[in-house]
Amino acid sequence: MVGVSLKTYFGHERAHAWFADVAIRAAGHPAVTDGSVRFFVIPTYLQIPTALAAFANTPVLVGAQDVSQHPPGAYTGEITAAELAEIGVQVAEIGHAERRRLFDETDTVTAAKAAAALTHGITPVLCIGEAERLGTPAAALANVEQLAANLENVPAGPVIVAYEPVWAIGAAEPAPDDHIAAVTRALRAAIDADPTRTGSVVIYGGSAGPGLLTRLGDSVDGLFLGRFAHDPDALVAVLDEASALASTRGASATSSARVDA
């Protein structure tokens, strides 16, 4: 799985041009069209209808960068999960470090937003990550605990767990490969142990770009891209890496099935 969050970097016209370019590339990418690589794009709220139109004839999922924890009603300025689902939004980014830091969102708020999304058939892209650089075992434990807190009382359904160490967001380089691998494996073990989360995946974000997915291999299920995906060529390079990894996993599964038979 490969995802892109555009944050608020693009104005409306630039976003429109980017959608048009990426839609052509996605429609022509074999791994995206056959479903072996799932791809989602998360623009600003105002850009969502344009994105939905641009990607209408592709398998690309369109998401929202946030969602209200509240139902429809007297909540001025909020965007509800019900309305997002009504127009075709399929994923929602929840709990990003910037939301937690700038808008004081807690694990309780994040869990409420995840619950609202799943209630309306929207898959949460649940962002978690340690605020300060920790040793790898401590980071793995902290993230597993945060994952549990962010899914407390959340209805059953798959989630996309996006491991984004706060200290790596916007940095020159992503977190070290071995650190990412250890934390994502711990998160995958935790999510796999929960029967209510069947179909969930664990991806990495935080200065992620071309080359990282190949290095991480089977330790992650994909990447969550930010500014590196502003260049469609770099984005396609990551989709190509994801395609190669998906082919390897498919071959391994086939080989295992033959051995079991």
Catalytic residue list: 96, 164
For 109-120, b/e burial (b = at least 16 CB within 10 A) is bbbbbbbbbbeb
Tokens 């991480």 label which residue? 216
